[in-house]
Every structure is written in C-alpha cells, then in structure tokens.
C-alpha cells in the first residue's frame, strides 16, 4: 500500500493518557516524525469527551469535533487514530466508518481488535486502506511487527507472554513488599497503566485480548476472543509468592498460545530459569518459539503514555511511508476462521497446589492418598512453621497430569475435614524452547 501525498492529514479520537501523548509528540517532534515517514504528518482534527482540559498542547489550527464518529466524514482526513477504547460503541462505529470512507486507521484498542479484528481487516482490505494496531499488544514492544514481519518465516510452536503491565506491576510489588492487592492497583491506575474498567486488567481480560491477537497472527486465523481460557490474579496471596520461590518458581499472569490448543491466559508459576520469570514491574515480554529460529524474547514497557504513544506513532509512520502491513499479515482469503478452530486441551500440565489444612498428624497421608487416587504424582512439597491444631498452608508441585484429574482431586481434597479453605491451584508453564 503506497501513500502518495506529501502531507498525511491525521485525526485523533480520544485524548486521554495515550491520545494526548500522541498529539503532543506529533506537534513537538513533527519534523523528526515526518522525516521518518517521508510525508508531513499534520494533526488536523481531534475529538474527546471534554473540550476544555489542558492536555499540554495547543489546539491552534486543529479542528475540534464533538462526536468522534464525525471524524470519518472530514474529507481532508487521511488517517484516523482511534484512542477511545472499548470493543463496541463509538470506537467501533468510528473505525468502521473511517475504513469505509477510505481512511487509514491506527488504533491501540485491543478489545476492539480481539472482538472485531476479522471484520475490520476485511473492511480495510476492501477499501485498500491500512488498519494497524501495534500499540494494542504489549504497549511499546513491537510485538505485532516482530511476529507478523520479523519472524514471518517461522512455524510457531508457542507464543507466550506477560501481556498486562498492570498485573505484572501488581504481582511484582506484592511479591517484593507484601503490600495488599487493592493498594497496588490504585498506584497502577495513577500511573496511567490500568484500563478504564480495572477488572479488565486484574481478571485477565485485557491480556486475553492481546493473546487473541497474537494467536491470530501466529497461526493464521481471524481473532476469536471467546476461545481463550481466562483467569486473573485476584486469588494470589502473599504466601503463594513465598512458597513458589521456595519451590523454584515465580508467579506471573502469562498467556500461552500453541497450535491446536486452547489459548490460555492464567496466573501461573514460571521456573526461575525462564526468561519470562525475570520480567518485573510494568514491563511486558513476549517469548516466540518458532522453527527455524528457536526462541526469541522481546521485553519492554507494556503500558503508559510514552510506551504506547511510541507504538502508535510507529504505525502512523508506516502508513505515511506506504509500508503498513496487512493487519494479520495475510490477505483475508488466506486467513482461516478463528471461530471454527477445533482446539484441544493439549498435553498434560504440572500444577502448583496450596491447601489450608489443620496442622495435625495424618493430614499429609490423607492429602497424598487423594492425589494418588487421581493418579497425580507430587514433585515437591513444603510446609513452613508449626501451628498445632490451627491451620497451616501446605504447598506442593505435581508432575504433569490432565487438568480434569487435577479438578477432580481438588474437589475431593476440598471435602476432607482437615482442609479448611478452597484449595488454590496454578499451572506451571515450562521455560522457553532452548536453542
Ligand atoms: N494507557 C495505556 O497504557 C494503554 C492503553 N491502550 C489502549 O489505548 C486506548 C486509550 O487508552 P487510554 O488513553 O489509557 O484511555 P483514557 O481513558 O485515558 O482516554 C480515553 C479518551 O477517550 C475519550 N472518550 C471516551 N469516550 C469518548 C467518546 N464517546 N467520544 C470521544 N472521546 C471519547 C476520553 O475523553 C479520553 O480522552 C484504549 O483502547 C486502551 O486499551 C493500549 C495500550 C496501553
Ligand atoms: N491496561 C493495560 C494497558 C496496556 O495495554 C496494561 O496494564 O497492560
Ligand atoms: Na506493541
């Protein structure tokens, strides 16, 4: 796709954390950014909920539009940057209208792409315009480009990632300082990492949106969010971090996509030796395992104004330079329908289990008997301290077993009189492919 005019007229919808940063950069660093794309990048129109906020840039010469959907009707606009958010509503209406009107669209909206990416990519293809969303996955990390362009020659056996900055920030701080989940979440919100709806972050939904997009590109199908198995970070407690460390692991919210297997976004244990286990704070990381390359790891800031703005502007420059790729790397006719994929549960998995039990003789025998009855073999087991006749935590890791066997064992364990709270379990994600 080539862009032949020497000026690219841009409209921004949404002037929050990301939109304001993109506008500021476009204005303050206009010469450098325009030179990178080979066309003058001209911000000509904007829309947001409130006109009067001070966003750190001058509105002189920029048209204000009350209804963001009207940006698609401005003839002069060549490219719309959608930074409102939300899978439906104004963001989707605007994106559809802009593509249909022959305007390029750059968006950071993973929810919209995860739910409607296939239909939107079709619309972009029909109208011969670009639809790009680098900022939607892992913020500032060029995760989409890496998968879709740099590693395009590979056959992927796994794409795994830490894809939510808010969760990684919360888990890292809880592990380091023992602070409570809710207090750390408030800080992530102040820092501009969190979604408007915080449950999207902490319940794994935002990260699952991103995993949906990565899986679609890696395995050549349209995005299908409904296929992803999702659990968040709410159930992790301080004691799990300590036990995990003692057993040789760290706890992270990790997304895993593998061919023919249900994509999973789950709070997991990662071996201390794994590259992903070392990624802390708001950093995100994606580990791509492919043939013939082996394993590649990308690490970088996954959220925040600067990181996300950087990715949005990279897409804008690609459009200006006429090198924007097809949204999912292939023409629509070459993508299979993600909703028709027949994914299985894949191979057996090792698990971490934590039980809250009465500290008295015979408890361990009862627990191991139930595991044995379900053909689950224990790899390691730890219990710290003593609390005769009071409750203690008993943590263990298992060898690989079917998820169904684990579920049945957990339900039998819950029924034991010595088990005093619902068992906590997390899968163990193996390290990246070696070599
Ligand atoms: N904040 C971050 O670190 C990252 C955000 N994203 C995505 O970027 C997008 C924007 O996120 P943020 O800037 O953080 O959100 P935000 O909540 O700070 O900003 C949203 C903006 O949209 C405007 N808006 C809301 N409804 C509107 C409507 N009906 N018409 C016009 N404007 C409307 C608001 O006034 C506000 O200016 C979202 O899709 C988000 O998921 C992606 C990666 C990282
Ligand atoms: N809320 C998201 C923002 C970026 O996508 C996160 O915390 O990663
Ligand atoms: Na990115």
CATH code of the domain covering residue 227: 3.30.360.10
CB-CB neighbours of 281 under 10 Å: 16
Q: Which residue has the tokens 């549960």?
A: 345
Asked whether residue 2 is domain-assigned, the answer is no
Whole-number average pLDDT of the chain: 94
| Residue 300 in marked binding region | no
344 in a domain, yes or no?
no
Q: 346: which DSSP letter?
A: -
pLDDT tens by residue, 206-218? 999 999 999 999 9
The Cα 310–Cα 251 span in angstroms is: 29
Examine the domain organization and report whether 359 and 385 are in the same domain. yes
In a domain, 1, yes or no: no
Task: Write the ipTM.
Answer: 0.99
CATH code at position 75: 3.40.50.720
- Assess whether 98 and 194 both reside in one domain: no
Do 131 and 158 have their domain in common? no
pLDDT at position 432 is 77
Final residue before a domain boundary, out of 301, 326, 361: 301
**Catalytic pick among 145, 210, 229, 342:** 210
Q: Does 196 share its domain with 290?
A: yes
74/186 same-domain check: no
Strands (E), 293-402: 294-301, 350-358, 378-383, 391-398
How much distance in Å is there from the Cα of 19 to the middle of ligand 1?
7
Q: Mean pLDDT, to the nearest integer, of 38-63?
A: 94
* Residue 347 pLDDT: 84
| Residue of higher predicted confidence among 196 and 368 | 368
Ligand 1: residue whose CA is nearest its atom 16? 16
Same domain, 118 and 235: no
- Give the total number of structural domains in the chain: 3
Q: Check residue 435 and give its pLDDT.
A: 43
CB 139 within 8 Å of CB 302: yes
Same structural domain, 133 and 176: no
Q: Is residue 339 part of a domain?
A: no
* CATH number, domain with residue 363: 3.30.70.260
- If asked whether residues 151 and 293 sit together in one domain, one would say yes
Residue with CA at minimum distance from ligand 2 atom 4: 303
pLDDT value for 343: 86
Question: Does the beta carbon of 195 sit less than 6 angstroms from any atom of ligand 2?
Answer: yes
Is residue 168 predicted with pLDDT exceeding 60? yes
Range of the domain at 180: 143-301
Least-confidence region, from 115-129, 130-144, 249-263, 382-396? 382-396
pLDDT at 2: 52
In a domain, 340, yes or no: no
Q: Is the pLDDT of residue 433 over 70?
A: no
Q: Are 255 and 163 in contact (CB under 8 A)?
A: yes
Q: Are residues 157 and 18 in the same domain?
A: no
Tokens at 278, concatenated: 């070392």
Same domain, 327 and 277: no
Integer angstrom CA distances of residue 102 from 11, 23, 125, 374:
14, 22, 10, 59
* Least confident among 170-184, 250-264, 312-326: 170-184
Asked whether the predicted pLDDT for residue 25 surpasses 80, the reply is yes
* Contact of 111 with 136, CB cutoff 8 Å: no
Are residue 12 and residue 32 in the same domain, yes or no? Answer: yes
Long-range (24+ apart) CB contacts under 8 A made by 59-62 are none
Average pLDDT over residues 149-175: 96
- The answer to the question of residue 152 being in a domain is yes
Average pLDDT over residues 130-152: 97
Same domain, 271 and 376: no
As a whole number, mean pLDDT of residues 40-60 equals 94
Question: What band does 4 get if pLDDT is binned at 50, 70 and 90?
Answer: low
Residue 345 forms part of a structural domain: no
Q: Tell me the ligand closest to 163's alpha carbon.
A: 2
103 within some domain = yes
């Amino acid at each position: 796709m080539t862009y032949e005019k020497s000026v690219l007229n841009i409209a921004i919808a949404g002037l929050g954390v990301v939109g304001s940063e993109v506008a500021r950069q476009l204005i303050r660093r206009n010469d450098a950014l325009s030179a990178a794309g080979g066309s003058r990048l001209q911000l000509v129109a904007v829309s947001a909920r409130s006109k009067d906020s001070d966003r750190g840039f001058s509105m002189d010469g920029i048209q204000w539009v009350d209804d963001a959907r009207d940006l698609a009707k401005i003839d002069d606009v060549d490219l719309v940057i959608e930074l409102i958010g939300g899978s439906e509503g104004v963001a989707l209406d605007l994106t559809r209208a802009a593509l249909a009107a022959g305007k390029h669209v750059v968006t950071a909206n993973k929810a919209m792409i995860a739910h409607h990416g296939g239909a939107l990519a079709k619309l972009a293809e029909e109208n011969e315009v670009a639809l790009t969303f680098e900022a939607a996955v892992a913020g500032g990390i060029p995760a989409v480009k890496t998968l879709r362009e740099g590693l395009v020659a590979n056959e992927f056996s796994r794409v795994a990632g830490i894809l939510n900055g808010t969760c990684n920030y919360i888990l890292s701080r809880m592990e380091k300082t023992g602070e409570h989940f809710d207090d750390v979440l408030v800080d992530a919100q102040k820092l501009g990492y969190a979604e408007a709806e915080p449950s999207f972050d902490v319940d794994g939904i935002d990260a699952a949106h991103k995993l949906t997009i990565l899986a679609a590109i890696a395995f050549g199908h349209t995005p299908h969010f409904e296929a992803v198995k999702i659990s968040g970070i709410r159930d992790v407690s301080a004691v799990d971090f300590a036990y995990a460390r003692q057993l040789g692991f760290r706890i992270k919210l990790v997304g895993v996509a593998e061919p023919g297997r249900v994509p999973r976004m789950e709070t997991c244990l990662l071996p201390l030796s794994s590259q992903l286990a070392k990624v802390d704070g708001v950093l995100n990381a994606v580990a791509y395992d492919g043939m013939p390359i082996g394993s590649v790891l990308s690490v970088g800031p996954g959220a925040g104004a600067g990181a996300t703005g950087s990715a949005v502007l990279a897409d804008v420059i690609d459009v200006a330079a006429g090198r924007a790729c097809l949204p999912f790397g292939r023409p629509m006719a070459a993508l299979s329908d993600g909703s028709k994929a027949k994914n299985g549960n894949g191979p057996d998995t090792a698990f971490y289990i934590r039980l809250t039990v009465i500290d008295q003789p015979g408890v361990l025998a009862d627990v191991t008997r139930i595991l044995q009855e379900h053909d689950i073999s224990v790899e390691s087991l730890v219990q710290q301290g003593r609390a005769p006749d009071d409750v203690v935590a008993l943590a263990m890791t298992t060898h690989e077993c079917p998820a169904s066997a684990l579920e049945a064992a957990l339900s039998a364990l819950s029924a034991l009189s010595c088990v005093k709270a619902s068992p906590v379990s997390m899968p163990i994600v193996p390290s990246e492919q070696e070599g």
